[in-house]
Amino acid sequence: MGTTENLFDGKSLTGWHAFNKPGEIQNWTIIDGAMVCLGAAEGDFGGDIVSDKEYENFELCWDWKIEEGGNSGVMYHVIEDAKYKAPWETGPEYQLVDDFSYPVKLEAWQLTGGDYAMNPPSEKKKLNPVGEWNSSKIIFEKGYVEHWLNKEKIVEFTAWDAKWENEKSIGKWKDYPDYGSSKKGRIALQDHGNKAYFKNITIKEL
């Protein structure tokens, strides 16, 4: 069991870089002790950032909020390579979205807290209103995965088992063979063209 590591010091973007662009960051800043994706341009998806370090088995915790109609996400086991245009091609995603007033109807697998396009969150989850802080957690340990939202477990699954492989083969990821295939990689925060706020980001290696 490792020690808890801060992935955000509350005052800088140290420890992060733009996906596939070491040493660079665009469209992110610090506001009132939070790491903020500015989401300045509609359809601007070029600001995804990833951790400098890679992680295998871990407990990742963070607080977050988004603007009305917003969309973002946290990914893990992300692989950087020129053949990938975005972190979601390889990294499973804990979805962050405005469940209440997103401009298009959301499917269950698109809702906040879900394992995006794979495992929907519990219908009993407790999501705070837009503009209020939520607390989230991902546990990944040798393929066993949990998603937590506001101190309640809302998703549980096993990566790479028969059910997982079937879901991958019939859904959104069937055309992305490297999705979820890596057992180690970077943490990613998604720029989906909307303003998103993150703070208290910690990780403990398991």
**What gap in Å lies between CA 206 and CA 139, rounded to an integer?**
9
What's the whole-number average pLDDT of the chain?
A: 95
Sign of the alpha-carbon torsion through 147, 148, 153, 154: negative
User: Residue 98 maps to which CATH number?
Assistant: 2.60.120.560
Q: Is the pLDDT score of 42 beyond 70?
A: no
For residue 132, the model assigns a pLDDT of 97
Neighbours of 6 (CB within 10 A): 11
Lowest mean pLDDT among 34-43, 141-150, 181-190: 34-43
In percent, the amount of the chain with pLDDT more than 70 equals: 96
Instruction: Give the mean pLDDT of 54-66.
Output: 98
For residue 1, the model assigns a pLDDT of 66
Q: Going by C-beta distance under 8 Å and a sequence separation of 6 or more, which residues neighbour residue 5? A: 202, 203, 204, 205
Q: Is the pLDDT score of 46 beyond 70?
A: no
Query: How many domains is the chain partitioned into structurally?
Result: 1
Sign of the alpha-carbon torsion through 109, 199, 182, 122: negative
For residue 26, the model assigns a pLDDT of 86
Judge whether 122 and 79 are in contact, CB under 8 Å: no
Domain that residue 87 falls in: 4-205
